Amino acid sequence: MAVMQAPGGPSPGQTCVLILIFTVLLQSLCMAVTYLYFNRELKQMQDKYSKSGIACFLKEDDSSWDTNDEESMNSPCWQVKWQLRQLVRKAPIMERFWARK
């Protein structure tokens, strides 16, 4: 049995193409909105953590270096300072190592 179609209306092929185009445009719009949202959130997080990192290094107070205090050892500021101190301590050793070669 053939499908009856009103004269002058879009063909089933045209309808399918229009639905496909609409779906792709809708998905593109959703992806763009999602990208913009997460990009903004990421920028806010980067600003927050970079400001706290800078504040960490600009602090004159070295009381956070107490190795007996469990809370201060778990702070990200203390961990970054400790890693930086270890890197500085190892730097002369690396210079002597490269000078031998």
Span 39-94, pLDDT tens digits: 999 998 888 777 666 667 666 555 545 556 666 666 667 777 777 777 777 776 66
DSSP string, 49-84: HHHHHHHHHH----GGG-TT-HHHHTSHHHHHHHHH
Span 26-35, pLDDT tens digits: 999 999 999 9
The phi, psi pair for 9, rounded to 5°, reads: -85, 165
Q: How far apart are CA 88 and CA 21, in angstroms?
A: 59
